[in-house]
Amino acid sequence: MKRMLSAATSLLLAASASAQVPASAAAKIGTAAAVAGSVKAVAEGAAVGRVISSGKPLFLNDHVTTSAAGRLQVLLLDETIFTLGPNSDMVLDDFVYDPKSGSGKVDAAISKGTFRFVTGRIAQKDPSKLKIKVAVGTIGVRGSIGVGETGPGGTTIINAGARDADNHDDAAGIYAQSGGKTVNLPQPGVGTRITPDGRVADASFMTGELNRIMGTLQAQVGQAAGKGGAPAGASRRSATDSSGRSTAEGGLHASVSGETALLFNSADVATAQSIQSQTESGVTGVPDGLTTWSQLVGLTGTGTYNGTGSYSGTGGSGSATLAMDVNFGARTLGGGGSTLTLTGSFPDTASIQSINYANLSGNALVTPVLSGSKTYTSTSLSLQNEGGIPAKTATLSFTVSTGAGPTSSGSVTGTR
């Protein structure tokens, strides 16, 4: 995906006021607090994605997408909340956070779909530190909740109220920028549109658009939270569309309070705190070591393992090269163009026959069949987790001969 924002530089999670933990590709920044339908995430530069379900961690630079029926709520470590509707696409490009002081930075890029955000501790301390790059334009906040829709046809962004509706923060607001123009949205129900060519319209009341977008976001979130049916306050929001400015402001504040209670609850906070604790302890992703088949269930796409090794023995010695595919979606290893190539005493190119692991359990360890001009009397293939990434490497061990007489053994490890 072409980045709309600069890549992140670091994730700061302080065990003390001065402690700093640098970001990495596996740096946890939040959790999927609620999921409906199909949601996937792909790490930066990776060909293999993950299926996201409620409670799963999210990492810096994850490219998150929802299906036509998918919805997702992301709770970041500073308690910032992003909710994505169907057919949405988001990357959290930059996240820096010091939990001791509450300072940091959040940069997100939403290229398409409907969304809602609730500012967390970072924006509470310094509103300028939360920026959202959309398909057309940029959104900034001042302690508010925002609702929007973006894509090639332009962007709509609407102020949905203060984060804490009871404090009546007069400074709370949202602004939209594009083409050198900034439009402030200081009140609930006030929004603007940015055209595909970057022109920003003057602010106006857009409660009808607000109701429509909130409907796409809330329908399944309420069900995922065990509420079912229409979300609380839906009829009140519908009434605001025809009741004028004062009624709109009052109804929206009441609705925002209820939505915050639904989406921003103690269970979500506990999950975020647990992830933060794990990150501060250096725990990332899955434990390093031998992969288990169950750890591959949430992966999608195809990984290609490439690496070199060697072999030696009474039959001679030489080098070995591995090129092997694993189709995580189809649950198969090998097949296609997967090969083990030997040079030296036993020159050969052997194909690695496909193995379906869909019904396997326990450790990711199998005995593949290698077909070549030489005889492979024993083989063993294992997958290993590395750096918190499941099945990052694959190791193939083998014994080879000409069919009779001396043999040699070796191994080769490939990385995807």
**pLDDT band at residue 10 under the 50/70/90 scheme:** very low
Note the pLDDT of residue 362: 87
Please give the radius of gyration of the chain, using alpha carbons only, rounded to the nearest integer: 26
Q: Mean pLDDT check: name the lowest of 135-139, 270-274, 293-297.
A: 270-274
Dihedral of alpha carbons 47, 333, 290, 32, sign: positive
Closest to 73 measured CA to CA, from 104, 25, 37, 19: 37
pLDDT above 60 for 385: yes
E-assigned strands of 119-189?
Answer: 130-134, 138-142, 144-151, 154-162, 173-178, 181-185
Contacts of 226 (CB under 8 A, 6+ apart): none
**In CATH terms, is domain 289-415 a member of 2.60.40.10?**
no
pTM of the predicted structure, to 2 decimals = 0.58
Q: Considering the chain, what percentage of its residues have pLDDT values greater than 70?
A: 73
Q: Percent helix, strand and coil across the chain, each rounded to 5?
A: 15, 45, 40
**pLDDT band at residue 285 under the 50/70/90 scheme:** very low
pLDDT in tens, 316-327: 899 999 999 999
Residues 101, 28, 164: CA angle, nearest 5 degrees: 50
Write down the residue that tokens 């070796």 correspond to: 410
Retrieve residue 69's tokens.
């029926």
- CA distance linking residue 101 with residue 20, whole number of Å: 13
pLDDT in tens, 335-357: 999 999 999 999 999 999 999 99
Closest to 267 measured CA to CA, from 75, 7, 11, 6: 75
**pLDDT band at residue 3 under the 50/70/90 scheme:** very low
Note the pLDDT of residue 413: 97
Note the pLDDT of residue 310: 96
- CA distance linking residue 89 with residue 116, whole number of Å: 13
Cβ pair 374, 342 in contact under 8 A: yes
- CA distance linking residue 274 with residue 369, whole number of Å: 44
- Please tell me whether residue 373 adopts helix, strand or coil conformation: coil
Mean pLDDT over 387-400 rounds to 89
pLDDT above 60 for 220: no
Note the pLDDT of residue 163: 60
Give the helix ranges, DSSP H, for 225-280.
Answer: 234-240, 245-263, 266-280
Mean pLDDT taken over the chain: 76
Q: Angle between the 245-263 and 207-224 helix axes, to the nearest 10 degrees?
A: 20
Residue with more model confidence, 221 or 315? 315
Closest to 214 measured CA to CA, from 265, 146, 144, 162: 146
Q: Around Cβ 270, how many Cβ atoms within 10 Å?
A: 10
**Backbone dihedral region of 388: left (phi > 0), alpha (psi from -120 to 50 degrees) or beta?**
left
| CA distances (Å), origin 157, targets 30, 150, 202, 207, 315 | 24, 8, 12, 11, 71
Instruction: Please give the backbone phi and psi of residue 197, each rounded to the nearest 5 degrees, phi first.
Output: -90, 10
**pLDDT band at residue 261 under the 50/70/90 scheme:** very low
Give, for 386, the enclosing helix (H) or strand (E).
Answer: strand 375-386
Q: Which CATH number fits domain 28-280: 3.40.50.10490, 2.60.120.1440, 2.40.160.10, 3.40.50.300?
A: 2.60.120.1440
The domain ranges of the chain are 28-280, 289-415
Retrieve residue 129's tokens.
């530190």
pLDDT in tens, 363-384: 999 999 999 999 998 999 999 9
Residue 358: Cβ-neighbour burial (10 angstroms; 0-12, 13-18, 19+): exposed
- CA distance linking residue 404 with residue 388, whole number of Å: 43
**pLDDT band at residue 36 under the 50/70/90 scheme:** confident
